[in-house]
Structure 1
Amino acid sequence: MMVPVRCFTCGNVVGEHWEEFKARTREAEEPEDPEKVLDELGVERHCCRRMLVSHKDLVDIVSPYQ
């Protein structure tokens, strides 16, 4: 579904970084290393990194069934 707005563990805002993270690591012609992208975005905690790295965007897959 949609990326959570806040980290489930610590409550920091992580949703604001999703679009840039996705664009730079998954949709770019030459994808960047996720570790470096998260460092540049200022996402330092492991729990917050997990929220972005492990997220699978399912909106396009699920939306026809709603």
Structure 2
Amino acid sequence: MMIPVRCFTCGNVVGEHWEEFKERAREGDEDPGKVLDELGVDRHCCRRMMVSHRDLVDVVSPYQ
């Protein structure tokens, strides 16, 4: 699915950082922890949302 707009635990906005995080950490060679630090994602719950997210919208959409 798509990245949630807000963190499930604390309610901070995390969706606005997803594209840059994906470009730099997932498709680039940068360390995900350093990228999250530079983006200002400090809380562990928000970091968990970013690091553990899998983009499944292309997989699920044919079945809707």
- Tell me the TM-score normalized by structure 2: 0.94
Structure 1 equivalent of residue 52 of structure 2: 54
**CA shift for structure 1 position 51:** 0.5
- Give unmatched runs, 5+ long, in structure 2: none
- Between Structure 1 and Structure 2, the one with more helix by share is 2
- Tell me the TM-score normalized by structure 1: 0.92
- Equivalent residues, number: 64
Runs of 4+ aligned residues of structure 1 deviating over 3 Å after TM superposition are none
Q: Percent identity, aligned pairs only? A: 84
Structure 1 equivalent of residue 12 of structure 2: 12
- Give unmatched runs, 5+ long, in structure 1: none
RMSD: 0.7
